[in-house]
Amino acid sequence: MIEDILNTFEYIIQLKEKNIKTWEDIFPSFYNLVKNNISEITEIGALEDIKKILAYVKPLKLLPEDRREQRLKGLKESIRELKEKYLIDEITERPEKELALFTDIKYIKHVGTKRAELLKRLNISSLYDFFYFPPRDYEDRRKVTKIFSAKENEKGVIIGKVINYEELKINEGLIILNFSVADDTGVIIVTFFNQGYVKSYLKKGVKAAFYGKIEFSYGLKQMKSPDFQILEKEEDFKKEILPIYPLTTGLFQTTMRNIAKEVIKQTFFLEDFIPDEFLKEFNMLSLKKRLKGLHFPLSLYHKDRALCSLKYEEAILFEIAILYVKLKVKETKRVEQKDIEGKLSQKFIESLNFKLTDAQKRCYEEIKRDLMSPYPMNRLLQGDVGSGKTVVSELAIVDVCEAGYQVAVMVPTSVLAKQQFQRISKDLTSLGLKVELLIGETKENEKISIKERLKLGQIDVVIGTHAIIQQDVEFKKLGFIVIDEQHRFGVNQRLELIKKGTHPDILVMTATPIPRTLAMTFYGDLDVSLIDEMPKGRKPIKTILVSQANQNSLYEFVQQELKQGNQAFFIYPLIEESETLDLKNATDMYEKLKETFKEYNVGLLHGRFSASEKNDVMDKFFNKEYNILVATSVVEVGIDVPDATVIVIEHPDRFGLSQLHQLRGRVGRSKKQSYCFLVIDEKMNYETKQKLSAFAKTKDGFKVAEIDLKWRGPGKFFGLEQHGIPEFKFLDLSEDILIIENSRKKAENFLENPLALEHSEKLKKELKFKYRNSLELINVL
């Protein structure tokens, strides 16, 4: 096969490029390998091309080094050209009718209303959807294997004649059909279960090709339920790579392939919408070639190039769209600019009992510049747990209030809202600002009063959950929205806010450090400020793996800490005993720990508590009425208790690493040394222990997040669905960092020309079509 031959050449070049010393010794055998296999080339014209190359490299060993280098360069170039020429193709036959992209799939040959329903389950409703429906794998049917050399567990094609047949009735429900199939090297048993109909095809003497996995049983080679094709002549067998699609009940692989064959014909009419400069820079295949290669690649090379090109297509379109949104938001000039004097924030800085870190100062400056600019801010403040994001946001809040505007702080839960309220009102009231809390449990008459005063402009800062602020609250002059600890709050929701107010500034803060790829996608429309420095004097938290067996010494350690007036968390994955999971739970352990730590007060907190119960418990822990807090992962976000120095996490394998990092961040929030204990039990597998000890060594939340993303994938990293971000079909956010980064850079560059999109009619059309349901503002295009 020419693909093998070209790969061999490429391998030779690689050896040389990597300076593998034995290159010279190996070269002749490669040369001969190619020469001996030249008869396998069937592609028209290819034989001549390969012969030319062989002649070109034959004297390679004898040439001086510089000329040798030159020839190798030439060889590399030729190989690339030949790959493009022989290993990649596109549809060249013009179909009778051109169909629109959004043509209902039911009108495609082999589909119809019934199958169209089934295809809907695979999210295919139109021709366009099928174009971009990725197979889950491919079958390489280009090589016919001789029975004699067929290897166990390998998938392949056998061509042979049916020489015998037997039917075994095992019981009422199971009939086994065994066909003996022979080629000129041996015999293989082809077995079918309860598929009586194959008898009428595979008659004695019939020639057929079988595709399946070779198994060995009792000394015989066997294929179970293979795909087969009856052949008149051996040459009738079509050597090709076939797609394997994800299926749904009632849809068969053969049907899907037949539909795909029809669908792909239509690519004849497609024109690429990706601008040339992108295609060139990323060595992408043209649209026709990438879609042909996705479904019916001519070679494995074609398949790889197509998949890579489609990843780029996805990344480029997305980055252009999101950057375009970003630009559009920036373009909406506000009516009135904020006049910030900075006296109040200066007073606030002086009141702090610590010095801001340089990173905090820098981020604050970046934010302040945005606040004063004529364009609304849309910024993300990133920083590891405990890096001091809240103070930075408070500074900005103070500035905005000073300029005569109101501020809304939105957090995901009422526990957090209460805590933020306590902190922010303590800090800001002394500066003469009026801060209020508005959450679900706020008394009805108070709610009315707060809303009234907000409308009149008598409240400067309101803190609450999203729900409340999004609903029916009116402001006199809302100028700034802080969205804290919330990664579910996606592009569209943010745009909603922008549209609602008079272009308020928006600052998003996340407690979970986000890996770069996710930041470029989920927060791709935002500018980013990064606090990459921890406050001085903080002692890094010691993370220690302890085995279940050492529980007593662990408890003794906790006892020592409590004695010094410190506090401890005990975290469990479950609220109550579970019938299916053999895990410790918070409720039972609460009782046990009360016994163990008799002289101390123990509190319990979990997700089934009502909001006011939760608040009550947190207050008591915060005020040191409780020394120990037994909890589930509800304490995960943002809660700040300075004297908590120990967190014991049982069954840590039940939590994601980012979640563990968040939990760990609940301690170490003062100058005291803090500890995080991960309790390991014997049943835990080696890999998990490795992962946890890697976590223990990693203090940097961004690194943890990256490890976590690799392990769990972006879907679980955080709920993507509510994010307003289209799902990616080809990109893997944990792997394709470079593709996303490159595309973003290039897209930024592309959009620097304000007319770039205007000049790319096709690209514009594609963006509108692709994101019509998922990205707002794209409709402004």
156 lies in the site for Mg ion, by CB under 5 A: no
In this chain, which of 391, 438, 462, 562 binds ligand ADP, going by CB under 6 A?
391
> 110 in helix, strand or coil?
coil
667 lies in the site for ligand ADP, by CB under 6 A: no
Q: Which stretch binds ligand ADP (CB under 6 A): 189-197, 302-310, 356-364, 499-507?
A: 356-364
Question: From CA 377, how far away is CA 528, in angstroms rounded?
Answer: 11
Q: Are strands 542-547 and 505-509 parallel, antiparallel or unpaired?
A: unpaired
Q: Which stretch binds ligand ADP (CB under 6 A): 264-272, 384-392, 466-474, 740-748?
A: 384-392
640 lies in the site for ligand ADP, by CB under 6 A: yes
Q: Are strands 220-224 and 207-217 parallel, antiparallel or unpaired?
A: antiparallel
> At how many degrees (to 10) do helices 300-331 and 761-770 cross?
90
Question: From CA 633, how far away is CA 606, in angstroms rounded?
Answer: 8
> 104 in helix, strand or coil?
strand
Q: Which entry of ligand ADP, Mg ion, none binds 215, CB below 5 to 8 A by partner kind?
A: none
Q: Which stretch binds Mg ion (CB under 5 A): 99-107, 358-366, 389-397, 437-445?
A: 389-397
Identity of the residue, 666 or 764, whose beta carbon is nearer to Mg ion in the bound complex: 666
386 lies in the site for ligand ADP, by CB under 6 A: yes
Is 417 within 8 Å of 565 (Cβ atoms)?
no
Q: Which stretch binds Mg ion (CB under 5 A): 314-322, 376-384, 385-393, 558-566?
A: 385-393
Identity of the residue, 227 or 532, whose beta carbon is nearer to ligand ADP in the bound complex: 532
Is 570 within 8 Å of 650 (Cβ atoms)?
yes
Residue showing the smallest CB distance to ligand ADP in the complex = 388
Question: From CA 604, how far away is CA 606, in angstroms rounded?
Answer: 7
Q: By CB under 5 A, what part of segment 339-368 binds Mg ion?
A: none
638 lies in the site for Mg ion, by CB under 5 A: yes
Rounded to a whole number of angstroms, the minimum distance from the CB of residue 382 to ligand ADP is: 10
Identity of the residue, 482 or 558, whose beta carbon is nearer to ligand ADP in the bound complex: 482
- Determine the residue type at 254: T
Identity of the residue, 126 or 357, whose beta carbon is nearer to ligand ADP in the bound complex: 357
Rounded to a whole number of angstroms, the minimum distance from the CB of residue 393 to ligand ADP is: 8
Nearest 5°: phi and psi at 393?
-65, -35
Question: From CA 696, how far away is CA 541, in angstroms rounded?
Answer: 10
- Determine the residue type at 577: E
Q: Which entry of Mg ion, ligand ADP, none binds 383, CB below 5 to 8 A by partner kind?
A: ligand ADP
Q: Which entry of Mg ion, ligand ADP, none binds 386, CB below 5 to 8 A by partner kind?
A: ligand ADP
DSSP string, 642-707: TTEEEEEEESGGGS-HHHHHHHHTTS--SSS--EEEEEE-TTS-HHHHHHHHHHHH---HHHHHHH
Residue 711 CB-density burial (10 A; 0-12 exposed, 13-18 middle, 19+ buried): middle
> 757 in helix, strand or coil?
helix
Is 398 within 8 Å of 343 (Cβ atoms)?
no
Q: By CB under 6 A, what part of segment 511-530 binds ligand ADP?
A: 511
Q: Closest Cα to residue 81, out of 42, 46, 51, 34? A: 46
Q: By CB under 5 A, what part of segment 580-599 binds Mg ion?
A: none
Q: Nearest 10 degrees: CA dihedral of 326, 328, 329, 331?
A: 120
* Alpha carbon distance, N-terminus to C-terminus of the chain: 48
Is 482 within 8 Å of 507 (Cβ atoms)?
yes
Q: Which entry of ligand ADP, Mg ion, none binds 356, CB below 5 to 8 A by partner kind?
A: ligand ADP
- Determine the residue type at 339: D
In this chain, which of 82, 285, 294, 385 binds ligand ADP, going by CB under 6 A?
385
Tell me which H or E stretch contains 359. Answer: helix 358-372
Identity of the residue, 297 or 386, whose beta carbon is nearer to ligand ADP in the bound complex: 386
Rounded to a whole number of angstroms, the minimum distance from the CB of residue 664 to Mg ion is: 14
The CA radius of gyration of the chain, in Å to the nearest whole number, is 33
Rounded to a whole number of angstroms, the minimum distance from the CB of residue 409 to ligand ADP is: 12
412 lies in the site for ligand ADP, by CB under 6 A: no
Residue 682 CB-density burial (10 A; 0-12 exposed, 13-18 middle, 19+ buried): exposed
Using alpha carbons only, what angle is made at residue 162 by residues 158 and 164, rounded to the nearest 5 degrees?
Answer: 130
Identity of the residue, 267 or 510, whose beta carbon is nearer to Mg ion in the bound complex: 510
Question: From CA 740, how far away is CA 319, in angstroms rounded?
Answer: 8
Question: From CA 704, how far away is CA 691, in angstroms rounded?
Answer: 10
Is 348 within 8 Å of 427 (Cβ atoms)?
yes
Question: From CA 408, how far away is CA 428, in angstroms rounded?
Answer: 14
Q: Which stretch binds ligand ADP (CB under 6 A): 273-281, 380-388, 624-632, 739-747?
A: 380-388
Q: Which entry of Mg ion, ligand ADP, none binds 354, CB below 5 to 8 A by partner kind?
A: ligand ADP
354 lies in the site for ligand ADP, by CB under 6 A: yes
Identity of the residue, 191 or 674, whose beta carbon is nearer to ligand ADP in the bound complex: 674
669 lies in the site for ligand ADP, by CB under 6 A: yes
535 lies in the site for ligand ADP, by CB under 6 A: yes
Identity of the residue, 390 or 734, whose beta carbon is nearer to Mg ion in the bound complex: 390
Q: Which stretch binds ligand ADP (CB under 6 A): 123-131, 235-243, 340-348, 379-387?
A: 379-387
Q: Closest Cα to residue 768, out of 128, 103, 104? A: 128
Rounded to a whole number of angstroms, the minimum distance from the CB of residue 671 to ligand ADP is: 9
Q: How many residues bind ligand ADP (CB under 6 A)?
A: 18
Identity of the residue, 214 or 663, whose beta carbon is nearer to ligand ADP in the bound complex: 663
Identity of the residue, 385 or 756, whose beta carbon is nearer to ligand ADP in the bound complex: 385
Q: By CB under 5 A, what part of segment 597-636 binds Mg ion?
A: none
In this chain, which of 379, 389, 503, 764 binds ligand ADP, going by CB under 6 A?
389
Eight-class DSSP state of 726: P
- Residues in Cβ contact with 148 at an 8 Å cutoff, skipping those fewer than 6 apart: 185, 186
Is 255 within 8 Å of 124 (Cβ atoms)?
no
Rounded to a whole number of angstroms, the minimum distance from the CB of residue 392 to ligand ADP is: 8
Question: From CA 442, how far away is CA 479, in angstroms rounded?
Answer: 24
Q: Are strands 207-217 and 227-231 parallel, antiparallel or unpaired?
A: antiparallel
Identity of the residue, 31 or 480, whose beta carbon is nearer to ligand ADP in the bound complex: 480
Rounded to a whole number of angstroms, the minimum distance from the CB of residue 694 to ligand ADP is: 23
Question: From CA 105, how far away is CA 127, in angstroms rounded?
Answer: 5
Is 241 within 8 Å of 303 (Cβ atoms)?
yes
Q: Which stretch binds ligand ADP (CB under 6 A): 107-115, 218-226, 355-363, 489-497?
A: 355-363
387 lies in the site for ligand ADP, by CB under 6 A: yes
Rounded to a whole number of angstroms, the minimum distance from the CB of residue 629 to ligand ADP is: 18
Rounded to a whole number of angstroms, the minimum distance from the CB of residue 510 to ligand ADP is: 9
Identity of the residue, 293 or 638, whose beta carbon is nearer to Mg ion in the bound complex: 638
Q: Which entry of Mg ion, ligand ADP, none binds 568, CB below 5 to 8 A by partner kind?
A: none
Identity of the residue, 643 or 708, whose beta carbon is nearer to ligand ADP in the bound complex: 643
Identity of the residue, 464 or 513, whose beta carbon is nearer to ligand ADP in the bound complex: 513
In this chain, which of 345, 378, 390, 521 binds ligand ADP, going by CB under 6 A?
390
Q: Which stretch binds ligand ADP (CB under 6 A): 68-76, 127-135, 212-220, 388-396?
A: 388-396
Residues at the site binding Mg ion, with contacts judged by CB under 5 A: 390, 638
Residues at the site binding ligand ADP, with contacts judged by CB under 6 A: 354-357, 360, 383, 385-391, 511, 535, 640, 642, 669
